[in-house]
């Protein structure tokens, strides 16, 4: 049998509780890195990282990307529900010891990690929704959290309106790369819209703070990498997260926004080098 090529990304699916889940995987020896995407993206976010080699896995969460979009009436899209589902997926795939990279709502993976901190070998936190006291939602999230208004905005979204909104996420407010906008828009549908609304409406500030109460149990080496011009999550939360994680260091990416590796591609090297 021909051994897999290092850095060769495989695509596969699993079915859990009747939900079809799409994932990407790089096989190999050693501890795999689990890449956890945020909203409104999916595992394609992580291709530049996974292509660098080393065992890795990235899962499209139900409601996003190429995974199923079950109706919220039969699936729990809260941060606790999604976190528990992710942990079960990793168990199903035989992932035990792991390195982790989380971005934006990928932080929900840390809810499960706080319960089993001994499994996490290294951790990279990139511009995440802070599981900390004091956070208040940005204007886009406030729209999603309002009933009827959120439904109207999502139902009337176009590729053009999405591209305009995404400009806000860049460090210099310039347009996002066309391929990035297409990557999101090509998987954005009414199913994803329902998932987004359910997730944000569950995540009251007090619930966010409660979800991170045991971050101090994650004593593995950690890197908090933060675009310092993120308009959605103030940079002070990067420092707060670094303080909450006992064995961490903070690195700011100057001039970068919410997806810092898009503004400053060298951020990819900083993540991958830390994981080695």
* Structural domain boundaries, residue 136: 10-275
SS3 160: helix
Count the helices and strands in the chain (H runs, E runs): 12, 8
Q: Model confidence over 107-150: pLDDT tens digits?
A: 999 999 999 999 999 999 999 999 999 999 999 999 999 999 99
- What pLDDT does 53 receive? 76
pLDDT > 90: percent of the chain: 94
pTM value is: 0.95
Kindly indicate the confidence band of residue 221, based on its pLDDT and cuts at 50, 70 and 90.
Answer: very high
- By the 10 Å C-beta count (0-12 exposed, 13-18 middle, 19+ buried), 104 is classed as buried
Helices (H), 47-170: 47-50, 79-92, 109-115, 139-145, 149-155, 159-167
Given a cut of 70, is residue 247 above it in pLDDT?
yes
Q: Output the six-digit token pair for 85.
A: 């589902």
Kindly state whether residue 152 falls inside one of the protein's structural domains. yes
Kindly state whether residue 202 falls inside one of the protein's structural domains. yes
Query: In what helix (H) or strand (E) does residue 242 lie, and over which residues does it extend?
Result: helix 236-244
| Strands across the sheet containing 56-59 | 10-16, 19-26, 56-59, 33-36, 98-104, 120-128, 222-227, 248-253
What is the mean predicted confidence (pLDDT) over 92-119?
98
- Rounded to an integer, what distance in angstroms lies between the CA atom of residue 249 and that of residue 80? 27
Look at the chain and report how many structural domains it folds into: 1
Task: CATH number of the domain at 101, please.
Answer: 3.40.50.1820
Query: Which residues on neighbouring strands pair with residue 40, listed in sequence order?
Result: none
Kindly state whether residue 207 falls inside one of the protein's structural domains. yes
Kindly indicate the confidence band of residue 2, based on its pLDDT and cuts at 50, 70 and 90.
Answer: very low
Kindly state whether residue 257 falls inside one of the protein's structural domains. yes
Pairing of strands 19-26, 10-16: antiparallel
- By the 10 Å C-beta count (0-12 exposed, 13-18 middle, 19+ buried), 223 is classed as buried
- Share the mean pLDDT of the chain: 95
Q: Output the six-digit token pair for 276.
A: 């080695």
Kindly indicate the confidence band of residue 7, based on its pLDDT and cuts at 50, 70 and 90.
Answer: low
Given a cut of 80, is residue 3 above it in pLDDT?
no
pLDDT > 70: percent of the chain: 97
Given a cut of 60, is residue 92 above it in pLDDT?
yes
Beta-carbon neighbour count of residue 74 at 10 Å? 9
Kindly state whether residue 162 falls inside one of the protein's structural domains. yes
Kindly state whether residue 14 falls inside one of the protein's structural domains. yes
Query: Which residues on neighbouring strands pair with residue 168, listed in sequence order?
Result: none
């Amino acid at each position: 049998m021909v051994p897999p090529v290092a850095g060769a990304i495989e695509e596969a699916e699993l079915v859990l509780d009747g939900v079809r889940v799409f994932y990407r995987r790089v096989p190999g020896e050693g501890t795999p890195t689990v890449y956890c995407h945020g909203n409104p993206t999916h595992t394609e976010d992580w291709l530049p990282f996974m292509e660098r080699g080393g065992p890795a896995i990235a899962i499209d969460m139900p409601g996003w990307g190429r995974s199923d979009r079950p109706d919220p009436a039969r699936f729990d899209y809260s941060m606790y529900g999604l976190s528990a589902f992710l942990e079960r997926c990793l168990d199903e795939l035989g992932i035990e010891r792991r390195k982790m990279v989380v971005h934006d709502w990928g932080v929900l993976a840390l809810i499960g990690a706080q319960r089993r901190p001994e499994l996490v070998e290294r951790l990279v936190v990139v511009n995440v929704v802070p599981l900390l006291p004091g956070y208040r939602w940005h204007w886009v999230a406030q729209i999603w959290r309002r009933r009827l208004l959120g439904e109207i905005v999502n139902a009337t979204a176009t590729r053009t309106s999405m591209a305009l909104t995404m400009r806000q996420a860049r460090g210099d407010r310039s347009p996002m790369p066309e391929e990035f906008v297409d990557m999101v828009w090509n998987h954005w549908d009414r199913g994803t819209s329902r998932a987004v609304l359910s997730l944000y409406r569950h995540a009251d500030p007090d619930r966010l703070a409660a979800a991170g109460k045991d971050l101090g149990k994650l004593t593995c080496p950690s890197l908090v990498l933060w675009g310092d011009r993120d308009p959605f999550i103030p940079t002070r939360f990067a420092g707060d997260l670094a303080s909450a994680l006992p064995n961490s260091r903070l690195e700011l990416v100057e001039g970068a926004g919410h997806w810092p590796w898009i503004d400053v591609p060298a951020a990819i090297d900083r993540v991958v080098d830390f994981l080695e």
